[in-house]
Structure 1
Amino acid sequence: MCKINQYSNVDEILERYQNKKSSLIAVLQEIQSEYKYLPEDVLEYVSKKMEITLSKIFSVATFYENFSLDPKGKYIIKICDGTACHVRKSIPILNALRKELGLSDKKHSTDDMLFTLETVSCLGACGLAPVITINDKVYAKMTPESAIDVINEIRKENSDEN
Structure 2
Amino acid sequence: MMILTDKKPRVNVEGILTHEEIHEIQHHLSHYPYPRAASLDALKCVQRRNGWVDDAQLHAIAQLLTISAADLEGVATFYNRIYRQPVGRHVILLCDSIACFLMGAETLAEAFQRELGIQYGQTTADGRFTLLPICCLGNCDKGPTLMIDGDTHGLVEISSIPQLLEAYA
TM-score range, shorter chain: 0.7 to 0.9
2:17/2:46 contact within 8 Å kept: no
Q: TM-score, normalised by structure 1?
A: 0.79
Q: For the aligned residues, what is the CA RMSD?
A: 2.4
Q: Say if 2:94 is the partner of 1:83.
A: no
> Deviation of residue 64 (structure 1)?
2.9
Give the Cα separation in 1 of the matches to 2:18 and 2:66.
Answer: 16
Query: Match for residue 12 of structure 1?
Result: 23
Q: Which has the higher helix share?
A: 1
> Deviation of residue 139 (structure 1)?
1.8
User: How many correspondences in the alignment?
Assistant: 152
Query: Match for residue 103 of structure 1?
Result: 118
Query: Match for residue 141 of structure 2?
Result: 127
Deviations 1:66-109 (A, max 9, x none): 3220122221111112222111211111111112212113x422
Which amino acid counterpart does residue 148 of structure 1 have in structure 2? P
2:25/2:45 contact within 8 Å kept: no
User: Mean alpha-carbon deviation: is it higher for 47-56 or for 79-88?
Assistant: 47-56
Q: Residues 1-162 of structure 1: matches in 2 within 5 Å?
A: 4=15, 7-18=18-29, 21-22=35-36, 23-105=38-120, 107-155=121-169
Give the Cα separation in 1 of the matches to 2:41 and 2:16.
Answer: 22
What 5-or-longer segments of structure 1 have no aligned partner? Answer: 156-162
> Deviation of residue 35 (structure 1)?
3.2
> Deviation of residue 115 (structure 1)?
1.0
Which amino acid counterpart does residue 53 of structure 2 have in structure 1? L
1:96/1:148 contact within 8 Å kept: no
Q: TM-score, normalised by structure 2?
A: 0.76
